[in-house]
Amino acid sequence: MDIADIKRPENLVYRKPALITDNVMHYCPGCSHGTVHKLIAEVIEEMGIQDSTIGISPVGCSVFAYNYIDIDWEEAAHGRAPALATATKRLCPDKHVFTYQGDGDLASIGTAEIIHACSRGENIVVIFINNGIYGMTGGQMAPTTLIGMKTSTTPYGRDPKLNGFPMVIADMIAHLDGTAYITRQSVHTAAAVRKAKSAIRKAFEYSEKNIGLSFVEIVATCNSGWKMSPVDANAWMVEHMFRKYPIGDIKDVLK
């Protein structure tokens, strides 16, 4: 087969999702955000819900998520995305509403907002990117930073006596009656990407059933913040992050 034949559209087995815009992404090479954005765009496209989906972006690296996925967006103040999503969904119950938040946004400054949105059982989807560090502000400690992990505000490693312990948000909210589906995934291998996509799809489908909040945590890398190559960051994540944040479903009220 000639190379020109292989490149014909009907022969393509992989393409950029229609809902990913042509804007140049600002994410660092090796960052997990781009992959997760792609999965969300694919799920929205495949479910045919572009015209009924409203995304809420956070403060942090993914503040500009609205530049990359071709849907309507609200950009929240730091940590407040679940409050915006609450009102958006209650005032527009026929829409699919999701927040996209990092660990500084969701697990630190926005803890009250996420806990109470979960507790109220808001019918929204929360995508939680947990890479154990503040990316945008230059690699400071997050609530999810592992013990011993070096960041710009824990230059000698996180010490529980000084900095407390890592927060395991997904397990905490699993105890709340308002949550319907809670899962922890990653996107470091092709197999993991496929599983993460199924989880995101399930979360969006659950949000149509009005059975409570669906929460997809993605354990992610921040190779610039961690000061590692993308490959090393993936290996480090598997070895250390997965031990504290194990991959798999945590709660599913329909099972």
Among 32, 35, 62, 86, binds other proteins (CB under 8 A): 86
Sign of CA dihedral 231, 235, 236, 237: positive
Among 24, 91, 162, 191, binds other proteins (CB under 8 A): 91
Distance CA 185, CA 41 (A): 17
Among 63, 146, 187, 222, binds other proteins (CB under 8 A): 63
Among 56, 129, 180, 233, binds other proteins (CB under 8 A): 56
Is-contact 188 237, C-beta < 8 A? Answer: yes
Q: Is 123 in the site for other proteins (CB under 8 A)?
A: no
* Pairing assessment for the beta strands 125-130 and 96-102 based on DSSP bridges: parallel
Nearer to other proteins, 90 or 209 (CB): 90
Q: Is 54 in the site for other proteins (CB under 8 A)?
A: yes
Candidate segments 7-15, 30-38, 108-116, 230-238, binder of other proteins by CB under 8 A:
108-116
Q: Is 90 in the site for other proteins (CB under 8 A)?
A: yes
Among 17, 45, 47, 75, binds other proteins (CB under 8 A): 75
* Beta bridge partner(s), residue 142: none
Among 74, 171, 205, 232, binds other proteins (CB under 8 A): 74
Q: Is 52 in the site for other proteins (CB under 8 A)?
A: yes
Q: Using CA atoms of 106, 107, 109, 113 in order, give the dihedral in degrees to the nearest 10.
A: 60
Least separation, in Å, of the C-beta of 81 and other proteins? 8
Name every residue whose Cβ is closer than 8 Å to that of residue 241 and which is 6 or more positions away in sequence: 130, 132, 146, 219
Among 32, 43, 73, 143, binds other proteins (CB under 8 A): 73
4 CB-contact burial (10 Å; exposed 0-12 / middle 13-18 / buried 19+):
exposed
Nearer to other proteins, 30 or 110 (CB): 110
User: Could you tell me which of 197, 188, 170, 193 has the C-alpha nearest to residue 228?
Assistant: 188
* Pairing assessment for the beta strands 133-134 and 140-141 based on DSSP bridges: antiparallel
Q: Which residues bind other proteins (CB under 8 A)?
A: 50-54, 56, 63, 66, 70-77, 80, 83-88, 90-92, 95, 112-113, 116
